[in-house]
Amino acid sequence: MKVVAPKHTTIMIEGESGTGKELVARAIHYNSPRKDKPFIKINCAALPEGLIESELFGHEKGAYTHAFTRTRGKFEQANGGTILFDEIGEMAPGLQAKLLRVLQEREFERIGGQETIQVDVRVIATTNRNLEEEVEKNRFRTDLFYRLNVINIHLPPLARRREDIPLLTHHFLSRYCEEYNKNIAGISEEAMDYLCRAEWPGNVRELANRIERAVVLCRGNTIELADLQIGSRAQSNSLNDFPQIPGTTLRNFEKWLILKTLQSQKSNRTKTARILDISIRTLRNKIKEYRELDGEEVV
């Protein structure tokens, strides 16, 4: 990464979902001469073809219905910086051709415009697909593939690069301590050993979620093994307000954990769902259940 960061070439980062591709892309940007310029992420799978073109290139006033003002696209906004195309394999064929032109000529026009706009943007693309196979099946442009694949970085699953776990753990610990205004000095040797031996089917994303949850629930100044093993927390002194009596049901523990996390996040459901690694819909259904069956008033 130290070798490629100072360069201006395009980069393709390959790996399974959750392996930390975006994390690597950001590290490349913030260790490059472009670090003081914008880093903009485009999720190719999240935007339909009709919208993503306007997102990338912008539009002129009156270019289409509801285009009431001139709007700059992501390429203009990122000028001098970096654009990350997340899951580039999902990009529609028509848009692939337009992206190729920007990469080759460093210029484009806004939708509905005649002015040619010059840009200086580094492009990084990520994918969880085998794009060479996509090219062979004519689902991805050959010329765009080779234009993007100047430098290729392959990220194996986290379980195959355990030496990265301590570094990633401290990175996420620092990030979430700042986000949640927690003063946690570090992580115990026992807890770190547990993290380094875990399988991590969800890769880096799962590790990040585990550290975030531990930071939120930790009562001391060090992350301990019990903070990482949610199921064992009923035996932890840090959870002495949970009723530790024979016959306590799994449902009661689940309810207690959800309500406790909601309380710690000041009823922010999005953060609560993320910490507990459940969907917003699941969280809403649980809250509805507590209201209807238990008469529990939950914000």
Is a pLDDT exceeding 80 seen at residue 128? Answer: yes
Q: Which residue has the higher pLDDT, 243 or 116?
A: 116
Q: pLDDT category, 23, cuts 50, 70, 90?
A: very high
User: 241-272: string of b/e by CB count within 10 Å (b at 16+)?
Assistant: ebeeeeeeeeeebebbbbbbbbeebeeeeebb
Answer for the pair 220, 282: CB distance below 8 angstroms, yes or no.
no
Is a pLDDT exceeding 50 seen at residue 241? Answer: no
Is a pLDDT exceeding 80 seen at residue 22? Answer: yes
Mean pLDDT of 262-276: 83
CA 195 to each of CA 228, 229, 232, 276, 277: distance values in angstroms, whole numbers, following the listed order: 9, 10, 15, 18, 17
Q: What is the structure's pLDDT at 52? A: 81
Q: pLDDT category, 88, cuts 50, 70, 90?
A: very high
Q: What is the structure's pLDDT at 247? A: 52
Give the bridge partners for 138, in sequence order.
none
Rounded Cα gap, residues 86 and 58, in angstroms:
19
Is a pLDDT exceeding 50 seen at residue 240? Answer: no
Rounded Cα gap, residues 212 and 206, in angstroms:
10
Q: Which residue has the higher pLDDT, 237 or 66?
A: 66
The share of the chain scoring above pLDDT 70, in percent, equals 89
Please tell me the least confidently modeled range out of 16-30, 32-46, 111-125, 244-258. Answer: 244-258
Rounded Cα gap, residues 174 and 37, in angstroms:
23
Strand order in the sheet with 122-127: 39-43, 82-86, 122-127, 11-15, 151-155
Rounded Cα gap, residues 156 and 292, in angstroms:
46
Q: Which residue has the higher pLDDT, 127 or 272?
A: 127
Q: In sequence order, which residues have a C-beta less than 8 Å from that of residue 187 and are 6 or more positions away? A: 169, 170, 173, 195, 222, 223
Domains (ranges, CATH) in the chain?
11-155 (3.40.50.300), 158-240 (1.10.8.60), 246-299 (1.10.10.60)
Q: In sequence order, which residues have a C-beta less than 8 Å from that of residue 145 and are 6 or more positions away? A: 131, 132, 134, 135
pLDDT tens figures, 151-183: 999 999 999 999 999 999 999 999 999 988 899
Is a pLDDT exceeding 50 seen at residue 243? Answer: no
Q: What is the structure's pLDDT at 272? A: 86
Q: Which residue has the higher pLDDT, 263 or 83?
A: 83
Q: pLDDT category, 120, cuts 50, 70, 90?
A: very high
pLDDT tens figures, 27-65: 999 999 999 999 999 998 877 767 788 889 888 887 777
